[in-house]
Structure 1
Amino acid sequence: MSTVDRTSEQALRIVRAVPPARARRALDVTLALALLIVLAPVLALLALLVVATSGRPVLFRQCRIGQGGHEFTLYKFRTMRNGGAGPGVTSGRDARVTRAGRQLRRLSLDELPQLWNVLRGDMTLVGPRPEVPQLARRYPPEHQWVFGHRPGLTGPCQLRSRAYAAQLDGRPDPEAYYLAVLLPQRVALEAEFLASPTTGNLLKCLARTLAYLLSAPFDRGGGS
């Protein structure tokens, strides 16, 4: 790790944590647990789909930056080929993504295991997009405040994931484009939501998430 990376990592570790209110945490636990129980048959079928189309492992585990700059392990259904190295962002036509994985990402079904992250307290239902460490360390100082908040399963940025992924298609350096162009847009959206994270706004975002998921089969744009 370079001196710049070590300095940035130290900065992430001292970001002031902003824990969610007790009522919001109670809602996280209640909904995450209920969805894990109700969706158990769907989760089992998706696990079988991953095994049948691309083998094991079923789950993709990746280190992400959580509340206060601390790292946690995020869980998703694996949508990429094993050993597929590449940038820390995924474009709509990323060659690393399997055929079945492309459909899982398009429908956001690969994200369902993150309900376990919500139940554990690593994440919240609605919050900032969880970032990978190698990109988090490259955030400009004026944007690092976002790591003080617990990352979300959904949120204003996650609801634009298909459009953002499409914007990365064909970029010679997708990480540089993400940091220079998409990151300021993302942080502005996060700031708008976090300025008033009321229960009403949270429920509105969850309703928008449902609409976003239902619109996926009709979206001819990029992947997620």
Structure 2
Amino acid sequence: MSRIDILFKRAFDIVASLAGLLLFAPVILLCWLVAALDTHSNGFFIQRRIGRHGRVIHVCKIKTMYPGDGKRSPIASRNISSISRSGRFLRKYKLDELPQLFNVLIGSMSFVGPRPDVPGYADRLQGEDRIILSLRPGITGPASIKYRDEESILAAVDDPEAYNDRIIWPDKVRINREYFNNYSLLRDFQYIFNTIFG
């Protein structure tokens, strides 16, 4: 990925996220209200994730789980029982992701890139794999598209954490390295299209 690629990618992120926020502001507000009423708490949920250069970022999403003790598993399939009634709908149609347009606008995320992971994964990358950390994490990306049914995959195995660590996570690293090495803005448009209509 060249400096020109980075410049055009960021310019697209700014223009598209601003347009998206203007267009979807009523939808975000409605989703926030539904989530707040359903969970009896703030309808927004702020998550600590690993961002560019391994720095911690705060990702904004619509809340899809009932409040608990704050001890969630990094393996999403283990948290299924905590998903709220509205959360199932919001997750199915990816509406819970819309507030991340704020993250894209301020530059902590991009539309396309590696998904922002919980501490303990991306921040522990070694050697050439650390090139992934030069990318802003994305709302979607090639790894996200391949593993769009990740929760179902992990729910079907005996040891979800081991399967994630040994199979899914290394494959995501490989995919994200390929994304960096073969980057093009046209492919970003294709990933966004596949995410929305795939």
TM-score, L = length of structure 1: 0.79
CA contact (8 A) 1:139 1:179 kept: no
Aligned-partner Cα distance in 2 for 1:172–1:75: 31
User: What amino acid is aligned across from residue 102 of structure 2 in structure 1?
Assistant: W
Shift in alpha-carbon separation, 1:81–1:25, aligned structure 2, 3 A? same
CA contact (8 A) 2:54 2:122 kept: no
Aligned-partner Cα distance in 2 for 1:40–1:79: 18
Aligned-partner Cα distance in 2 for 1:142–1:26: 27
Shift of 1:177: 2.1
CA contact (8 A) 1:106 1:162 kept: no
Shift of 1:141: 5.5
Residue in 1 that maps onto 2:27: 42
CA contact (8 A) 1:92 1:166 kept: no
CA contact (8 A) 2:54 2:123 kept: no
In the TM superposition, 1:137-148 aligns within 5 A as: 137=123, 139=125, 143-148=129-134
Residue in 2 that maps onto 1:197: 183
CA contact (8 A) 2:47 2:58 kept: yes
CA contact (8 A) 1:124 1:152 kept: yes
**177-186 or 135-144: bigger deviation:** 135-144
In the TM superposition, 1:49-198 aligns within 5 A as: 49-84=34-69, 85-91=71-77, 94-137=80-123, 139=125, 143-171=129-157, 173-198=159-184
- 1:131-153 deviations in Å (ceiling 9; x for gaps): 11134455565644322221111
Secondary structure at the aligned position of 1:157 is classed as helix
Residue in 2 that maps onto 1:221: none
- 1:144-167 deviations in Å (ceiling 9; x for gaps): 432222111110122234321111
Q: Percent identity?
A: 34
Shift of 1:125: 0.9
Residue in 2 that maps onto 1:21: 6
CA contact (8 A) 1:87 1:174 kept: no
Aligned-partner Cα distance in 2 for 1:205–1:198: 11
Count how many residue pairs are aligned between Structure 1 and Structure 2. Answer: 195
Aligned-partner Cα distance in 2 for 1:202–1:142: 23
**79-88 or 41-50: bigger deviation:** 79-88
- Which of 9, 20, 32 does residue 17 from structure 2 map onto? 32
- 1:60-116 deviations in Å (ceiling 9; x for gaps): 111111111111101111111112523112128711211211221121111111100
Secondary structure at the aligned position of 1:116 is classed as helix
- Relative to its length, the structure with more helix (as a share) is 2
CA contact (8 A) 1:19 1:149 kept: no
CA contact (8 A) 1:88 1:135 kept: no
TM-score, L = length of structure 2: 0.88
User: What amino acid is aligned across from residue 89 of structure 1 in structure 2?
Assistant: I
Aligned-partner Cα distance in 2 for 1:29–1:193: 21
Shift of 1:52: 1.9
User: What amino acid is aligned across from residue 179 of structure 1 in structure 2?
Assistant: D
Structure 2 gap ranges (5+): none
CA contact (8 A) 2:131 2:177 kept: no
